[in-house]
Structures are given as C-alpha cells and as structure tokens.
Structure 1
Amino acid sequence: MDSWKSIAKSKQEALKAAIPSEWIIPAHLLPSEHQTDVTSFPRQSGWFTDRELEILSTSAPRILAHLETGSWTSEEVTKVFCKAAAAAHQLTNCLSEIFFDEAIAQAKQLDEHLKKTGKPKGPFHGLPISLKDNFNIIGKDSCVGFTSLVNDPATYNSTLTDLLLEAGAVLYVKTNVPTAMMIAETVNNVLGRTVNPRNRKLTSGGSSGGESALIAFGASRIGVGTDIGGSLRIPAACTGIFTLRPSFGRFPNFQTRSGLAGQEAVNSVNGPMASTLEEITLYSKTVIDQEPWINDPKCLPIPWRPAEPKHRLKLAVMWNDGIVTPTPPVARALQETVNRLRQAGHQIIDWAPTGHHEARQLLQRKFVADGGKSVRELLAPTGEPFREEMRDYEKATEIGVHAMWQIHLERNTLQKEYLQRWNASGIDGILCPTTPYSSVEHGKFAYVGYTGVFNVLDYSAVSFPCGVKARKELDASHPSHQALSDIDDRIQKDYNASAVDGMPVSLQLVARRLEEEKVLMMTGVILQAMSAERKAKL
C-alpha cells in the first residue's frame, strides 16, 4: 500500500475509535443509505432523550443564560453536543479531530469555577464551540487534507483558540476540509468526502464544509470557519445556515494553518457559522469585545459599533455577475426577495457586475502564483497525488515577484474603481446570489465567482437562507438559455431540478469594507421584511 493510503486509513480508524461505544449509532437505528436527509435523525430516531433534544434546539444566547445561572451545567450541555457530533460524523463524515474526553473535563472545571466563584469564566462560559480543522490546538493535528501533516500535532494554539478558551468556550471537535482548503467541496485524500446532511447526495460545500454539515445537522450551535474565496459563504449556502465573512483584521486569524502559507495577496479571514443570525451577531460582538488586537498583530483595534436598524434601505441587486447565471431556484429566490423588499418600502436599484470578470481572474492568478509549489511540497513527503479538483495547481507556472506586483496594482485599481462606483450610487449594500446553486451533486460545484470577488475587494458579507426552497415544479431549467460563458453553459446543462428539490436557497448581502455591524443589521432588516410578507399571506 502506498504510504499516503496507509496514513489515511490509520487516521480514519483513529477518528472512528475516538467515538465512545455508547455513542456509536445502533445498527437498527442507522438511516438507510437511500435516506438522503438525515437532519431529522436526532428527533425521529428515539436515540436522543427529550432533555437532549431541548438542549440541542436551544440557541446559544439562551444556553449561555442557563449556564450562567447554573440551571444547566456545562458538563451536561457538552456531553449532549459531543453525542450529537458523534452522530453527525457517522452520518456525514464531517469531523477531522475528536476530543470529547478533554472537552467534558474542561466543562467540569468550568462548572467548578462557577460553583466556587459564583461568576462565569467569561462571555462564552461553558458553551461548546466547534472549529474548522486549520485552527491549531496544542496536541491536535491540523492536517488540512494532507497525509503528510497527519500525526504532526500543533505545538501552539491559534490566537483565536486562546481567545475562545479564555472566554470560557468548550472546544470539542475540529471539522473536515478539502485539500489545502482550496476546493469548493469538502473532500480530501485523508478523510474522504463530507456530505450534506440535508441531502447526502449533495455537497456541503467547501472549504468549511465540515463545519456547515455539523451545524446543519444540529450538533453545534456556533462554529468557526475561514474564507479566502468563499469558504464560509459557499458551505453555508449549500446547507442553508448563516455566516459572516468579515473584512481582514476584524477577527483574529494569527497562527492558523494554511495550505498556501505566506500567500497574502488575498487574505484569509475567519468568521462564525450558525443556524440563526442572532448567534452570528452574538459571536461577532463577543469576540471583538475581547479586544483581539491585543494579541493578534494584524487585528485592527476597532471596538464593536452597534448599527441602528434602518427602516428604508437602498440596496443594489446584482441579478448575475456577467459570467454565470444563477440556477433557477436561486434566480427565483432573488426575484421573490426583491419583490418583498420593494413591497416593504425598501429602494432597489440594479447593479452592473462591472469589474467582476477582472476580479475573478485576479483571484485565480493569485492562488497559483507560486506554480503550485506550496501544495506540491505538502503532497510530496508521502507520495500523495494531486486530486483532480487541484489540477490548476498541478499545471501552474510560477510567476516572478515583478509579475506579482503588477497583480497587486491591478487589484488596487479595481478596489478604487469599485468603491467610487459604490459611493456614487449611495447604496447601503448589494444583494446577490451567494453561489449559482442552492446546492449541487458531488463533484459538480464549478464556480466561486460570486463570493471570490468580495474577497478581492475585502468587503463584509453575510450569506443567509432567504426562506425560499428549491421546487422542481417551479424551477425547471432556464428556457432557451443564452450562456454568458463556457462555464455558464456547463453549469446550466448540469442543473438537475429533481436533485435539489426541497433544498433551502441562500442569498448574499454585501457591505463595504469593515462594515460587519452594518451588514448584520441589514440582514436582520431583510429577514424581518421577508417574515412580515409571509405572515401577511397567512
């Protein structure tokens, strides 16, 4: 057996062995392979008690309130989320590291602290929080999909890891990612593929697809992922949950592992993923209130700035990006959302995708500027091959420093022109698709342009489920579609209305750089308008 294959096999076996026997799903309760939606498993299997289900369905702010008063213990809450995470992994293959025993021991210490002092340790006291694989935790692997990094435990914590621990959070799992975290689906040669708990025939997205699967299943209230081209927003959209892509410097990202270490032409950022907007806002404010700039030299010293709700927003809608047309469910969801916003009194104007083609090309050139050396050097020690999804890295040619500087100049010009156009329009934000898909079958996610352009611009963005679901009877293929590009032609031909039937559809709301508070506020205003419209129809 090849070295890389034996390493992968032993890692998978070790992960399986880390699940206690009492949390192995009994064979008679295992969903059939033909059952695509497993999100109902906790409620319908009978394997979880009513008390456990109550805890899993309680939002993070309310869990924290119970923990602070001592009416719930962190030990009990942690055990419930560990059990749920064990189930999620068995059904979706979403985890990369399991450390339940340590988490429960940590929870007991937090309970003792509360008992002795009468005060919580910090604002996240006793709350289980899940982390994407690339966040370093001392003694745990951060293999980011490479067999050469298996059994190479971290010797230091990421800055965010320390912040969460100091705030009283309980860390219990890390979640699966694609190779180098540079694929829009979560699949690698170490642990294989993570599937979507809402439909296991569909992708959970990438690169934070382990996080999105865990949260959509209900086994984490708040998780943390990262985003360099859409790696928070794509998986959130594929699984119908919320996320915030912040601008660089707002949240601490120091000492995390990268598949393209040292690549800073476009910065990776991290942000929260959760089932509700309330939990995204709670996490964001809490982390910033901890003044992360004290310990992260690249964090900006910007305190949390509450944004008052704006009753009449001026939003630009981008119907397509000039390269790829949204698939029918996404196009319909965007149209329905715009209609409801107009009915609620918000001003909507059209937004031309000027600069988007150039931004997409810039992003692609930046990622392979080293000629694929970073990836190749991580594959080589074990003889691990390039995956098909990484062929652009395998074929890339390294460019020189001068050529890279010219890319930076192009980026700077694009950023300035986009900002000038934004300011001249007087808009509050841009509403557009997060991806062309509601979700898509494994191996078919082919376009990250809708997210990647805002990484180049470094704008704040939220991906949110808009309340619309794909319906095969309403979302047939676009009639007589005139393709905008070759990739558009491929995506529309691949579209299968039956495959995505019933999947939630997400949209993306974008604000300018460092406007995290504003984009969260605006998302709440939009959701309120959507909710009011639905109630009016009842």
Structure 2
Amino acid sequence: MSCVMEYFKYKNIIAGKQKQREEIMAELAPEYGLPLTPAEVKIFNATVAETAAEVKAGLVQPIEVLHAYGKRAYAAQKELNCLTEVIFKQAEAQAAVCNKNGPLAGIPISFKDTVSIAGVDSTLGYARFANKPVQQDATLVKLLKDAGAVPYCKTNIPMTLLSYESYNNVWGRSENPHVKGYSPGGSSGGEAALLAYGGGRVGMGTDVAGSVRVPSHFSGLYTVRSSYGRIPRAGNTTPTRGQDGITSIYSPMCRSFVDLEYVFKSIIDMKPWEYDYTVHPIPWREITLPAKLKIGVLADDGVVTPAPACARALNTVVEALRKQGHEIVPFVPPSPLEALKIATQLICADAGRMATSWLYPGEKIDKGVAKFLFVERLPRFVKTIWSLWVKYVQKDEVLYTMLNNWNEKTQLEYMDLIMEREGYRGAFFTAWKESGIDFLVTVPNATPALPHDGMFEAFGSVGYASMFNLVDHSSGLIPILKVDKEIDALPAGFSTKGMNYIARGAYRNYDATKMAGLPVGVQIIGRRLEEEKVLKMMARTIDALKDIGVEYELLNEVE
C-alpha cells in the first residue's frame, strides 16, 4: 500500500511542477511571447563583449538585454522543451541591480539544472527534489553575478546525468533544434538545445564523460571542458554525491567562439579561487603559439570507428591545418579500450545505487542507463560465465574487456581502480611527451546525434569523450559541418557483422538520410590545465577552416 501511495505522490509532484511551468509561461506570454523588436535583434546579435560594453556605457539597459534573450528562450522552450525553471521575473529583479561595471554586465546566462540558484529548485529531473528550493547560490553563480551576469533560466538534463540524451519524468524530453526526433545531447542537453536554437548566447553546463562536448557536437556549439580546478564547482546539486573518481567539471557553452573565449577569460579574471576552495590560483595567461605546430590525430580508437560524417569533419580539420603548414602525425594513446573500462567503472563504481536511491516507485530512468546498471548488478558468477562465452565463443574482445569486473565495487576494489586511473594517466602523459605533439584532434563521438532512446543501443559508445575526462586534459569543441545525406551515407553493402558489440550499438542508429542537417564537431585537446592554449588553438583552427572555405552556419540567426 505504501508503494502505491508513493507512486501517486510522485505523479502528483510532476504534474504540479509541469503545471507551475505552464502557468509561468502563460504569465510571461504577453511580454516575452512577442517577436524581437529591431533594437532587440541588434542586442541579441551583438557579442557578449559588445553588449557588456554597451551596458557599461549606458547605451543599453540590462532589462533590455534580458527581454531580447528572454524572448528567444521563451520561443526555444515552446519548440524544444529545453527549460526546467523559468526565472525571468527573478532575472528582472537581478537586472535592476546587476553590476554594470563587470565584464559580463547585464548578460543573461542560462544554467544546467544542477546549478544551485537561491530560491529555485534543482530537481535534476527527480520528483523527490521538487518543491525544495535551494537556500543559496552556488559559488559559480555568485561569481557570475558579481561579474554582472543575470541568471534567467535553468535547462533540462537526464536523471542520473549518465546519458547523452536529456529526458526525465519531471520535465519530459528535450528536442534537437536541427532535426526533430533526435537528442540534443546529454547530460547538458537542454542547455545545448536552448543555445543552438538561439535562446541565448552563453550558458553553463557540466562534463563528467563528455557532457558539454557531446551536446555541443550534437547541437552545434562551442565549448571547452577545462581541467579540474579552473572553474568553480562547489555548492551545486548532484544525484551522485561523493562520486569523485572522475570529477564533474563546470564549463561555458556558447553560440560563438568569440563569446566562449571572452566568457572563459571573464571567469578567470574574476579570481575564482577567491570564491571556491576547489579552484587553483591560476590567473589568465596570454598565449602566443608557434607558427608551426605538431598536431596529433586520433582517427580511430579501436573500439568504434567514426561514422562517415564524423570522419569527414575530422578529415576537414586535418586538411585545413595541414594547409597551414602544421606537421600532422598519428597519435597512439595507451589502450583507449582500457581508458573506457576504467572511466566507466569509476563513474558507476556503486552500480548507480546513489543515483537511483532518489527514485519514487514507478519513476524510470534513461533506458541506456537502466541497461548498463542492470548488467552491472547481475551476480558476479553470471557475468563470469557470460564474459567467457563472449571471449571464446563470440570472440568479442571489446565486450569481454568491458564485462570483466564490470561490478559494483567494494572499497578495496575501488581503491585499486583509482590506482588503475593513475597508472593510465601516467602512461598517457608519457605517450604524449614522447610523441612531441602540441595538440591532439579527434572526434567527440563516433556518430552525430542519436535518435530518442538511441542510448539503449549506444550506451557503451562514450570513449572519445570520456578518455579526456579520465586523464583530465583540456578539451575544446568546434562545430565543423552538418550531415549530408549523400556524402555521409554508409557505403553500399555496409554491414555491422564482425564489429564488436559497442560498435554495432553505435552504428545501429546511423542513417545519413535521417540525420541530414545534424551538426558534427571536432575536439581540440591540449594538456592538463592548458585551457588558454586550447582556446588559442581553437581560434587558429577556425581561421584555418575559413581559409579553405569552411565556416559553420549557426541555426536561427535573427535578422
């Protein structure tokens, strides 16, 4: 009986939260539901730096900036279901008192739902966290407000934060603005959908296994996943508290590279180490790169060969850099499969016990997450037999490696896993040093955006992103092109027969005809704590692409 009562309580909670959002949207409609005025178009099309300068000079008022951004976010929510908490009224109050002399004077910023904003829920998609507004701003929010920024909305995520999709029972499913029926990514997927649609210019997401880079790749944005200790992270909300084997990193996501660089620098110039004990006291460093660089290329991780569209994007970048005179060499990291195994086991060392402990009876999680948690929780003897069958009968070494020891960890096993992480980091450090490369380029994911529920098949295909979380390297993402139904089609007679289990799952949803128009990005990777260098290399890569006539076209530019 108690389970039945709990189930109906959960259903009432989500109905109440959704009704609350609908009522807020209806109340905002007379003002924010209107088209942009010519003055608002000008505001929205200006870079963050330009708008902040105009606010400082008194030429534009913060409330005018908020109206421009708010109207675009309102439209994005109607189209994509990307917002969770719509706090435009709270933002109006903040706009009236914001710091007009800060580097982000009057700039509206959206936040992933995990970010704690005083007086607002951080449900994380769980009914149990609803109607419990947090009491104080996270350190990142405090810093951004001090810089003049105005928080105006929060964005959708997958519950558990362990998926490249963005669906939960409280807020529903977010759509990819480029092609309906496809995911905008995860776990910062609502953020990606909002910005890619044109509902804002800058937002904040998190990345523990690609969660800002993959949504930016799926949706067509610019981002940089920094190393641990550059961006404040204290005071936020998570369903997996205590999970620190792979640290979640807060990162800006932007519609343009110019905005990304400016916002990142603005955060560092605010001395974030004075706000948050987790931040290293490293001021912004002006970087001058050598004219000629040695660029490593990871074209195939040996687990999943990039699909044609992703391979084309990577080849386009490589060719652009080669034409600039840079030395291009293959980079062979320590076993990417081993990196995938270590990273995924660290992230789910508790077999998802913490993440699923908040569920009400009947409350369901992402299908892909549910699948791998089911496997992880199987009795060990069952998996031992299964893995031997996979190894010796199916002869799938990749699946065998992933199944072997894919269990809920004891404390001793977890400590051993941390040692494996450190061993891999050391081996990666040596491989990079011996190769002599300055930067590495690779795909962020083996395929473009997945169709909804595609993570059920592709749940294991996360290695191109998670490798750099494991080694904590600075990793930027540039959108390059969009899927072409003819150029990016699979070759005639293509078959997944002979592929390993993870690769088959990734390719099951690849269809260039259905995916036509979806964005495709490329990662630019530097060494640990080299965010300024990575940003500089991103700028150089964008220039190199322009020189060969390749320039990414944003969606929904307003005129």
TM-score by length of 2: 0.87
Runs of 4+ in 1 over 6 A off after TM superposition: none
Per-residue CA shift, 1:22-45, capped at 9, x if unaligned? 52799xxxxxxxxxxxxxxx9xxx
- Change in Cα spacing, 1:318 to 1:25, as seen in structure 2 (3 Å) is farther
State which of 15, 24, 34 in structure 2 corresponds to 1:18: 24
1:348 matched to 2:336? The reply is no
1:117 corresponds in structure 2 to none
2:421 counterpart of 1:402: no
Q: Indicate which of 76, 79, 102 corresponds to 2:64.
A: 76
Q: What's the offset of the Cα at 1:535? A: 8.0
Deviation string 1:409-463 (CA, Å, 9 cap, x unpaired) is: 1111110011101011110111000111222211214221110010000000001
Cross-structure match for 1:509:
524
Q: In the TM superposition, what whole-angstrom CA distance separates every residue of 1:194-248 from its partner, at most 9, and x where no partner exists?
A: 1111222211000001111111111111100000001000100011110110000
Structure 2 residue 96 is matched with structure 1 residue 108: yes
CA drift of 1:47 comes to: 2.8
Query: Distance in 2 between the 1:357 and 1:440 partners?
Result: 22
Kindly provide the amino acid, as one letter, of the partner of residue 363 in structure 2. E
Match status 1:128 vs 2:108: yes
Verify the 8 A CA contact 1:311 1:525 in the aligned structure 2.
no
Residue 470 of structure 1: aligned partner: 483
Q: Secondary structure at the match of 2:211?
A: coil
1:53 matches 2:41? yes
Report the equivalent of 1:32. none
* CA apart distance, 1:21: 4.1
1:151-170 counterparts in 2 under 5 A? 151-170=131-150
Instruction: State whether residues 183 and 207 of structure 1, in contact with CA within 8 Å, keep that contact through their aligned partners in structure 2.
Output: yes
Q: How far off is 1:132 after superposition?
A: 0.7
- 8 Å Cα contact 1:234-1:435 kept in structure 2: yes
How far the C-alpha of 1:2 sits from its partner, in A, is 2.7
Quick check: 1:103–1:170 contact (8 Å CA) kept in 2?
yes
Q: Which residue of 367, 373, 376 corresponds with 1:388? A: 367
CA RMSD of aligned residues (A): 2.0
Asked if structure 1 preserves the Cα contact closer than 8 Å seen for 2:367 and 2:453, the reply is no
Gaps of 5+ in 2: 1-6, 378-406, 552-559
Deviations 1:129-151 (A, max 9, x none): 11111110111111111110011
Q: Counterparts of 2:491 and 2:183 in 1: how far apart (Å)? A: 22
Question: Which residue identity does 2:421 align to in structure 1?
Answer: R
Deviation larger for 419-428 or 476-485: 476-485
> Which residue of 1 is the match for residue 349 of structure 2?
369
Aligned match of 2:275: 295
**2:244 corresponds to 1:267:** no
Give the deviation of 1:90 after TM superposition: 0.9
Candidates 110, 128, 146, aligned match of 2:126: 146
- The AA in structure 2 aligned to 1:534 is G
Distance 1:94 1:303 in 2: 34
Code of the residue aligned with 1:215 in structure 2: it is L
Choose 262-271 or 468-477, whichever is displaced more.
468-477
Q: Is 2:334–2:424's contact at 8 Å kept on the other side of the alignment?
A: no
Report deviation, 1:344.
1.7
1:430 to 2:440 alignment = yes
User: In the superposition, relative to structure 1, how do residues 490 and 183 fare at CA in structure 2: closer, same or farther (>3 Å)?
Assistant: closer
C-alpha contact 1:145 1:189 (8 A) present in aligned 2:
yes
CA deviation string 1:312-342 (max 9, x = no partner): 2211111111101111111112112212221
Contact 1:310 1:525 (8 Å CA) reproduced: no
| Shift in Å, 1:478 | 4.0
Shift of 1:481: 5.4
Q: Residue in 2 aligned with 1:322?
A: 302
Q: Per the alignment, in what secondary structure is the counterpart of residue 311 of structure 1?
A: coil
Q: Tell me the amino acid that sits aligned with residue 519 of structure 1.
A: V
* Equivalent residue number for residue 512 of structure 2: 497
Aligned with residue 14 of structure 2, among 8, 12, 16: 8
The Cα offsets for residues 83-117 of structure 1, whole Å up to 9 and x where unpaired, read as 2111111110011111111111221233xx7xxxx
Structure 2 counterpart of 1:489, one-letter code: R
Which one is further off, 484-493 or 220-229? 484-493
Residue type at the aligned position of 1:453? M
1:166 CA drift (Å): 1.3
Query: Which residue identity lines up with residue 47 of structure 1 in the other structure?
Result: P
Does the alignment pair 1:252 with 2:232?
A: yes
Q: Match for residue 417 of structure 1? A: 427
For the residues of structure 2 that align with 1:200 and 1:213, how far apart are their CA atoms? 11
Instruction: Give, in angstroms, the shift of residue 123 of structure 1.
Output: 1.6
Distance 1:24 1:176 in 2: 24
The alignment's TM-score, normalised by the length of structure 1, stands at 0.91
**Partner Cα distance (1:295, 1:128) in 2:** 21
Which of the residues 511, 529, 532 maps onto 2:547?
A: 532
Number of residues paired by the alignment?
508
Structure 1 pair 4/22, CA: closer, same or farther in 2 (3 Å)? Answer: closer
Aligned twin of 1:96:
84
